[in-house]
Amino acid sequence: MDETRTLLIVVAFLSALPAWLTASILTRHAKADGESPSGWIPLSVLPYALSRFKHRHKPAIVFGYVASNLVFAAVVAAIVWMRFGGK
């Protein structure tokens, strides 16, 4: 059980890095376009990313943003479940 928890914590850190990186790219572009997104709310820049965001690597950035945020959320939920609900 401890090995699984350790693995989940490592995966959480590894998925948080691309989530932070892609969010910072999207936030920087959103501020340049006059938007005021919140960097602390997960997936808060998604409406901007899907509509007005212009970049030659848009599909990769948006996919990385969504996928890494979802993986991070799933891992955090698994850690909480293991801590409070699991045996």
Indicate the pLDDT class of residue 57, thresholds 50, 70 and 90. Answer: very high
Helices in 33-84 by DSSP H: which ranges? 46-51, 58-80
Sign of the CA dihedral 84, 87, 76, 50?
A: negative
Residue 1 is predicted with a pLDDT of 67
Q: Residue 51: which residues within 8 A CB-CB, separation 6 or more? A: none
C-alpha–C-alpha distance, residues 50 and 59, integer Å: 9
pLDDT-wise least confident of 2-6, 20-24, 74-78: 2-6
Confidence label for 5 from pLDDT (cuts 50, 70 and 90) = confident
pLDDT, position 39 = 65
**Tens-digit pLDDT profile for residues 19-48:** 889 999 999 999 998 887 776 677 888 889
Average pLDDT over residues 70-76: 91
